[in-house]
Amino acid sequence: MLDINLIRTNPDLVRENIKKKFQDEKLPMVDEVLELDKKNRDAIQRADYLRSQRNKISKQIGMLMGQGKKDEAEAAKQQVKDMQDELADIEQKETEYAEEIRKRMLVIPNIIDASVPIGKDDSENVENERFGEPVVPEWEIPHHTEILERLNGLDLDSSRRTTGYGFYYLKGDIARLHSAILSYARDFMIDRGFTYYVPPFMIHGNVVTGVMSFAEMENMMYKIEGEDLYLIGTSEHSMIGKFIDQMLDEKDLPQTLTSYSPCFRKEVGAHGIEERGLYRVHQFEKQEMVVVCKPEDSMMWYERLWKNTVDFFRTLDIPVRTLECCSGDLADLKVKSCDVEAWSPRQKKYFEVGSCSNLGDAQARRLKIRVKGADGKKYLPHTLNNTVVAPPRMLIAFVENNLQADGSVRIPEALRMYMGGKTEIR
């Protein structure tokens, strides 16, 4: 959410940013906010005047009564009553104006960074850099479900009976591999100085609207019927939410956190949700990283966060690349974002396994997270998040890139201590 002062002082910048995101239908909202804001400020000014006059006249009533000027005192009482009635009406309008302004401010997109490429959708995202040499082996790479089923590690038929499409059973060494990857990711991030968390897996509605846009909320979140609780789609939601309404001390920044959680997503509009496979599912587990920092440090942390994911995947011998998200592919709260994509030797292309985002002060403003500086001044921190790893999607990249000619899957050195010393899965 933008600072209202930015729209007041530079509405053209806001309009130009909306155009860069190809959301022209939101352009009228800028003028609507300006008009509502003027009405609201006029109402506040009138209310302040009425309060001062009411207090002034109220003090005169007793004096008039004491002087025996009953008629004048009664007239003054009527004046006070009229002011009270008008004030109540104005206060109601102030509330309505503020709600209408907030409703629009929540959907006007954040100002994107100048480095973001301009494009309409994800087809215009830009490749930044590749890490590791993509290899296509001489032997055939089956679909990942075939690989996992041959290793007696995946049961989709049972999950369809118990829960439906978009769910799965992992078992045996594959289930152990899944847990091993998450344990390794946890220790990998702890070794990089991040504090490990296991957060709540449900959050209140005001936290949901604080961390994401309405469009994302509608397409992602499962709501608990009859309660103000939502299942999280990523632990970022709980981790940023933990700072809601907090005043942080600048000396405690940056907050560098890594969190494990199950994730639940409706995946509305997703393609192929009923196809066999683990690429897009309603339930999965993830290791996340979250940073709350001073505004001047956020781009430095953005670079460090995506590099952590690249380094993690390279320790598992998986080639990856980074893809810069263009303006039209950025969610409304994001200032800048890139995807980390892993190589698929079967498809001979890369696919998304993580996303790194700098959200500027948008989440902090929505959640009322503030920082008290050493000079006593208060300001909004910047928030960032990035995926360390998200099995089971990562399992697709893992088994394809570590599949051997005889159908076994090699276990890279970094994972062996979490797999009881195993060097391969057969």
Can you tell me the distance from the alpha carbon of 128 to that of 356, in angstroms, rounded to the nearest whole number?
A: 13
Banded pLDDT at 354 (limits 50, 70, 90) = very high
Q: What's the pLDDT score for residue 276?
A: 59
Q: What is the mean pLDDT of residues 231-253?
A: 96
Lowest mean pLDDT among 20-24, 52-56, 332-336, 370-374: 52-56
| Highest mean pLDDT, choosing among 62-71, 260-269, 335-344 | 335-344
Average pLDDT score over residue span 296-309:
98
User: Which pLDDT band holds residue 382 (cuts at 50, 70, 90)?
Assistant: very high
Q: Which of 3-7, 54-58, 261-265 has the lowest mean pLDDT?
A: 54-58
| Mean pLDDT value across the chain | 93
Structure tokens at 91: 């206060």
pLDDT band per the 50, 70, 90 thresholds, residue 268: low
Q: Residue 273's pLDDT is what?
A: 45
Helix (H) or strand (E) holding 85: helix 70-105
pLDDT interval class at 270 (50, 70, 90):
low
b (16+ CB within 10 A) / e for 76-109: beebbeebeeebeebeebbeebeebbeebbbebb
User: Among 406, 397, 365, which residue's Cα sits nearest to residue 382?
Assistant: 365
- Compute how many other C-beta atoms are within 10 angstroms of the C-beta atom of residue 246: 13
Establish whether domains 4-105 and 122-425 are of one fold: no
Mean pLDDT of 300-319: 97
Q: Which candidate, 255, 218, 214, places its Cα nearest to that of 236? A: 255
Check residue 154 and give its pLDDT: 95
Summarize the confidence of residues 298-303 as an average pLDDT.
Answer: 98
Q: Residue ranges per domain, the chain?
A: 4-105, 122-425
* Separation of alpha carbons 164 and 162, rounded Å: 6
Q: How many Cα atoms sit within 13 Å of 325 on the Cβ side? A: 23
DSSP H or E stretch at residue 191 = helix 172-191
Average the pLDDT over 156-179 and give the result: 94
- Which residues does 208 contact at the CB level (< 8 Å), separation at least 6? 217, 221, 230, 237
* Mean pLDDT, rounded, for 333-339: 97
Where residue 297 falls among pLDDT bands split at 50, 70, 90? very high
Cβ atoms 371, 378 nearer than 8 A: yes
For the domain spanning 122-425, the CATH number is 3.30.930.10
Q: Is the pTM of this model over 0.95?
A: no
Tokens of 245: 């309404």
Please give the share of the chain, as a percent, with pLDDT higher than 90: 85
Average pLDDT over residues 357-366: 96
Helices (H), 192-333: 205-211, 214-220, 235-241, 298-315
State the pLDDT at residue 274. Answer: 40
Q: Name the token pair of 207.
A: 């936290």
Structure tokens at 279: 């690429």
Phi, psi of 401 (to 5 degrees): -80, -20
CATH of 4-105, one of 3.40.50.300, 1.10.287.40, 3.40.50.720, 2.40.30.10: 1.10.287.40
Q: Which pLDDT score, from 0 to 100, does residue 264 have?
A: 95
Contact 183/418 with Cβ under 8 angstroms? Answer: yes
Please classify residue 308 by burial: count the beta carbons closer than 10 Å to its beta carbon, then call 0-12 exposed, 13-18 middle and 19+ buried. Answer: buried
